[in-house]
Amino acid sequence: MVGRERLEEVFDEPVTLPPAVDGTGLPAGPLGVSVRSASFSYEDNLVLDGISFEVEPNESVALVGATGSGKSTLAHLLVRLADPDAGSIRLGGVELRRLDPARLRREAAIVFQETFLFASTVRENIGLDMALPESEIRRAARLSQAEGFIEELPRGYDTVLGERGVTLSGGQRQRLALARALVRRPRLLILDDATSAVDPTVESVILKGLREELETTLIVIAYRVSTISLADRVLFLDRGRIAAEGSHYDLLSHPAYEAMVRAYELGAA
């Protein structure tokens, strides 16, 4: 559980990346993603090797691959938590390095597997003290399938979480973290195994709701076949490159992909 002071320090911490070149803002309308020949290394370890792909506005894409294939690194680059060593990444047709960082963080959100909550109310954990109407808080909770368990808490949205308050399960924590991202109405949403602790049936409801109700491009890093199969398209990463792409069912003819799916299914059994 994270204290409010530490949370504010995290959000106020200056970005260490180079600033935007000219502060260009994003265009209006749905946002697509374009990655061109992007490479990235951790010290001497090449993680992404000249990767290129396009994501259409409002498309849902699953990033899959073995551990170390570059999925999470790619997700970090897409929201400019790091810059590629070579190549370019564009959001809405604009190079990320040219975007105003504050604008980018309003329009693009990433939700991680590991969540943090701070010792305050459910409402404040979702809204982060932004001046939001109650309807927006509840909308985000509904889309993340958190509404039901929130209403069963002792004081609903006013229930205090933390060491002296209510303790939530892993799946409930993940749904609150997702609600926190959704309340910003991002036009690019990246889920980095962000629903791994959520019941698979509930997870399917969440993903279907996001696709039907949001004006957003959705990129999901997932290890459940049920999640992967819901995406419009799958990018199969292997050693920092795209080994194959297509629908889940089309890729089952790819031997390495089919073997990975079998491993996922055995792990879930």
Smallest CA-to-CA distance from 54 within 16, 103, 92 is with 92
Cα→Cα distances 258→183, 205, 226, 253, Å: 37, 25, 14, 7
Q: What angle do CA 264, 267, 269 make, to 5 degrees?
A: 110
Q: Say whether 246 sits in a helix, a strand or coil.
A: strand
Residue 163 has a pLDDT of 66
Q: Where are the alpha helices (DSSP H) in the chain?
A: 4-12, 71-78, 101-107, 122-127, 134-143, 147-151, 170-182, 200-213, 225-228, 248-251, 255-268
Residue 252 has a pLDDT of 96
Contact 218, 181 (CB under 8 A): no
Class of the CATH domain delimited by 4-10+58-76+100-268: alpha beta
Partners of 238 in the beta sheet? 241
What span, in angstroms and rounded, lies between the C-alpha atoms of 252 and 84? 31
Backbone CA torsion sign across 219, 75, 128, 164: positive
Residue 8 has a pLDDT of 47
- The one-digit pLDDT tens for each residue of the chain (269 residues) are 554 444 444 444 445 566 655 556 777 777 999 999 999 999 889 999 999 999 999 999 999 999 999 999 999 999 999 999 999 999 999 999 998 888 888 899 999 999 888 889 999 999 987 788 999 999 999 999 999 999 999 999 999 998 666 789 999 999 999 999 999 999 999 999 999 999 999 999 999 999 888 889 999 998 999 999 999 999 999 999 999 999 999 999 999 999 999 998 887 65
Residue 264 has a pLDDT of 87
